[in-house]
Chains A and B, each alone.
Chain A
């Protein structure tokens, strides 16, 4: 095949840096105070600067400023810090246990701890959460018992999803945290339905959902934007742009690198926010909740962050990116940034940080020891394999009953 007209053959993008390269991030031109906070009944077109810019509250000097400062009390900030530290310590412990075979698989939220935690804290407890596998931290905000989370991850007989799902695919209805599904993106458009049901029932409930930069290439992302806009759903649609979909850089998900602006032609007010800035995330989410709650419909948010760790325990990012690259992310680390801010305002110290870290570590270890009493993936006991047959349907039909009997026969043989 000869190419015609001197055209280059098939353009394929690349990642900005690969193993052996220096990290290549352009310095952020955005500062706190750059962007105003519009009225909640604003038109999508009035948010173009918010979508093209970046909402920040915490400056490089660790001080807060600008219209988006949510003016949270130190108590709330310390609570947020604690949740984020809990998630990181929890993740580290689970990853270690994965290496010993106690879990089949694990996914950390490393570097993205602020996302689900700040955003869930900005909501009401009655609001619905429709997460991906990278927002387990929301459960801490909704007071999920850590033992129960571990029992799910290690697939023991107390796993509330009965050994059916891979680890980290949590379900926590009491906290309105909807079951995580592996196929990426499906939740995004489903969340619009959840929101419309609340709307239909006349309830002041908002639904929040998340999708990755990679999964925004799935049709579900676009269905969500269209349906949410058409029906003015009370939904908060977040694209968590953590730059990587396993090995695939966000350059394969967006030509110009901006996800936020995509909401505007759909008629949805859209904002890009610093995903490692707890205060900015909280603030933008509160604004979006307020809009949804007062009947002004959806908000589309790009959460700009960095997947500091591997995609999962099955992944080895040193094969496709410089191994220390996350240390150069212009947005820094969400936990350090919030703790530095708290120190800056005189409400936190290294000693307190150390003590809290130790307390959480003990808490996680205690929860882990409690959870393994009910078994783990390496050693059992597991949920009964009867759970293979239950809840496939509301009531098992005859053919499942027959097969269930057969399975029991083999299990007992």
Chain B
């Protein structure tokens, strides 16, 4: 099985789907001839033709609206918003249109669009190239929201997203495109010897709505998604506390069964995300977990998140949650 980094895995997923299904097309800013500013569509135009992989005008609202139109008329567009921070001109089209068309048309129209977008910090991108706006979409009924974390789940989840008949917002943690991120900016590993970088070249799916148990333990349940999954892995190893690490993968609909099972076992829970705390998806999870697992809980549910501020440029390492904060939260859950 070939070793792929996350860029190659995303590329392979789109390539696989372009080959498999002629209703699949891809477009977005700089994705055609150039192959994308992060190279995720490198070579795809050459392989599949200009009419299937193409550059669009620089207009996120236009991209989303056009994808909507194509989607309700039988195509299965995969579009790229170059940075998640730039998705907001498309917000109306996504929230009011894509998310609601199946419902508003009594089921007569639906919109099988996948919107891929690199998200998250750690690349010195400042507040307009670092945000992680997943909860702005999890709050919208009608959208599915996915956040991959490794090459293997990037490909399997992306294929599921493309084949799904509902609109899917697909976040890719850009800091992890070329290697996992363990919370130390000076440690820049590649994916080359990581087990989750063994990616089949062929078609495979990771079902939407299923979490991945990245580590197994019995003293605490750590739940995360995106780049923070690797930070949590590092933190758990350093903490010496035996933890389940749940990589949520799909935020809507999230894997309630896996989470409840784990929290029932451990009685303790830490939720970690990069996005700001207030109204972050961690809040939704904490509320749901206490609804379902209150009598199992041995300690308060902890949240480790980005601050409720814009994402800084020069001081981003004082913003992004690091292993130390996660360790402290895990340790707090162990107190009687």
Residues in A lying within 8 Å of B, measured CB to CB: 1, 9-12, 14-15, 18, 104-105, 155, 159, 163-166, 169, 181-184, 212, 214-215, 217-220, 245-248, 252-253, 314-315, 319-320, 377, 382-385, 387-389, 392, 399-400, 403-404, 407, 410-411, 413
Contact = CB atoms under 8 A, between A and B. Distances in A.
A163 B128 contact: no
A166 B277 contact: no
Interface in B243-292: 277-278
B89 A218 contact: yes
B61 A219 contact: yes
A382 B313 CA distance: 10
A60 to B, nearest CB: 33
21 contacts: A10-B51, A12-B32, A155-B313, A159-B314, A163-B313, A165-B127, A166-B126, A182-B126, A183-B85, A183-B86, A214-B58, A217-B58, A218-B59, A219-B61, A220-B89, A253-B58, A385-B315, A392-B309, A399-B277, A399-B308, A407-B318
Given A15-B33, A214-B58, A215-B58, A377 B324 contact: no
Nearest to B50: A12
A248 B55 contact: yes
B315 A14 contact: no
Contacts of A217: 57-59, 62
Interface in B1-59: 22-23, 25, 29-30, 32-35, 37, 50-51, 54-59
A164 B58 contact: no
Nearest to A249: B55
A253 to B, nearest CB: 6
Interface in B52-87: 54-62, 74, 85-86
A314 B124 CA distance: 12
A166 B313 contact: yes
Contacts of A315: 37
Contacts of A403: 277, 307-309
A404 B62 CA distance: 39
A166 B86 CA distance: 15
A166 B55 contact: no
A293 to B, nearest CB: 32
Contacts, number: 142
A9 B74 CA distance: 15
B318 A383 contact: no
A400 B309 contact: yes
B54 A1 contact: no
Contacts of B217: none
B124 A411 contact: no
B312 interface: yes
B151 to A, nearest CB: 22
Nearest to B34: A247
B129 interface: yes
B127 A246 contact: no
B325 interface: yes
B310 interface: yes
B125 interface: yes
Interface of B: 22-23, 25, 29-30, 32-35, 37, 50-51, 54-62, 74, 85-86, 88-89, 124-129, 277-278, 307-310, 312-315, 318-319, 322, 324-325
B198 to A, nearest CB: 29
A214 B57 contact: yes
A183 B128 contact: yes
Contacts of B50: 12, 14
B278 A399 contact: yes
Nearest to B61: A219
Given A155-B313, A182-B126, A248 B29 contact: yes
Given A104-B124, A163-B312, A165-B313, A246 B37 contact: yes
B307 A389 contact: yes
B307 A12 contact: no
A407 B126 contact: no
Nearest to B60: A218
Contacts of B278: 399
B304 to A, nearest CB: 10
Nearest to A383: B314
Given A105-B124, A217-B62, A383 B57 contact: no
Given A12-B54, A217-B57, A385-B312, A169 B126 contact: yes
A169 to B, nearest CB: 7
A253 B57 CA distance: 6
Given A218-B61, A248-B57, A388-B309, 19 more contacts: A10-B25, A10-B51, A14-B50, A155-B314, A164-B312, A166-B124, A169-B126, A212-B58, A246-B29, A246-B37, A247-B33, A248-B29, A314-B37, A382-B315, A387-B315, A389-B309, A392-B308, A410-B322, A411-B318
Contacts of A388: 307, 309, 312, 315, 318-319
